[in-house]
Amino acid sequence: MNRIKELFKKKKKDILNVYFTAGYPKLDDTVRIATNLTHCGVDLIELGMPYSDPLADGFTIQQSSMKALKNGMSLDLLFDQVKEFRKSHETPIILMGYLNQVIQYGQEKFLDKCVQIGIDGLILPDLPMDIFQNEFKKDLEERDIAFSFLITPQTSDERILLADQLSTGFVYVVSQSSITGKTGDISTTQQAYFDHINKMNLSTPALIGFGIHDKSTYEVACSNSNGAIIGSAFIRALDGEKTINDKVKSFVHSIR
């Protein structure tokens, strides 16, 4: 069984999905960071594929992508790093990136490589649902690769239900109408949005992301869904003079 599906089958609440950009801060940090996240008990690892034009991402992730590309990160190197990680660890890994990256690499080649090295899921925020249904859905099903669609406070109920129907990993609930990296407490407007989603009784697990940055926002997200996704706050925590081990451990323990 796909590791993501197996996770949600075994664990229903308080799931922690941590995002970081492959090849950041240093080119060879990817396996080290993923390994330390696993040792700290993180449930899911969302690995960003560095891209020159990350439309959904805020300043922090954009900067990490630029630095990773400058470091020499490529998809082939990312695949090699995941392959190395998979020699010792079974934590589910999701690749997050953009449609053009997959097209440039070659869709069949990209998906086959994901299977070979042990990628469990994909998130491509700019992949339209109709193209997904016509050109991706069958290929992903045949390879047992999970896919997650994003919904936002502006997403219509009709589209939310379609995202629920098409998502085979989890529904990515974007907590706010902005790019990633915002900080602050969860507002009453956001809580009303979460309440609305919960009343829709979606059949697919849901994780809340965008703006989840500390223990408080993590707990609010978990109380309104199956768990939370943290990205920009973790990438900021990777800066500084401490070792990767200390930085990862300190950050995860500050969350839960």
d(CA 139, CA 146): 11
Known catalytic residues are 46, 57
The secondary structure of the chain in percent helix, strand, coil, rounded to multiples of 5, reads 50, 15, 35
d(CA 68, CA 87): 23
Q: Are 20 and 238 in contact (CB under 8 A)?
A: yes
d(CA 72, CA 14): 35
Partners of 174 in beta bridges: 209
- 24's CB contacts (< 8 A; 6+ apart) are 50, 64, 65, 67, 68, 71, 73, 235, 238
- Among 181, 240, 196, 172, which Cα is nearest to 62's? 181
d(CA 235, CA 215): 16
d(CA 89, CA 38): 8
Token representation of residue 31:
């396996």
